[in-house]
Amino acid sequence: MGKRNKIISFWLILSVAALVILGLQFLSSYLIQSALPEWRHVFGHVFVFSLTGLGFMVFVKLRKKHLSLSGLIFGGISMLKMLLAAIYLLPILLKSESRDVFFVLQFLIIYMIYLAIEVRSLLILLKDDPDV
């Protein structure tokens, strides 16, 4: 399977996972708060979805050029994603209202789920084709 097909396959898996996670997000918000999630909850979900997909694409493209630096590339991309997530959460953390705790926890849980999906996909990718 070529690099393009692997990227498309990852985006499809990530999109299905995103729909499931978004459904769970709506369900948990309705059950906990008896309301639909606020726009920032959905935007946070889309933000993490985009970071994960773009990070995977960058990894695949850079790894092809620098095969021996795979770990460094993944670590660098992960650090950049964490930095962007922290910048995204910074205004919310500085306000520090009690209802913001639910949003931050939900954001971090979604971030970790996407990270697990990304790591699993990268391990499968590297196992199937070490020269991606």
pLDDT, tens digit, 9 for 90 and up, residues 89-100? 888 888 767 667
Half-sphere exposure of 56 (CA within 13 A, CB side): 30
Q: What percent of the chain has pLDDT over 70?
A: 92
pLDDT at 132 over 60: no
pLDDT at 125 over 60: yes
At 6 the pLDDT is 80
pLDDT at 80 over 90: yes
The C-alpha angle 16, 84, 40, rounded to 5 degrees, equals 60
pLDDT, mean over the chain? 84
Question: CA 77 to CA 2: how far, in whole Å?
Answer: 22
pLDDT, tens digit, 9 for 90 and up, residues 22-67? 888 888 878 877 778 778 888 888 999 999 999 998 988 888 888 7
User: What does pTM read for this prediction?
Assistant: 0.79
Helix (H, G, I), strand (E, B) or coil at 96: coil
- Spell out the domain ranges in the chain: 3-128
At 130 the pLDDT is 63
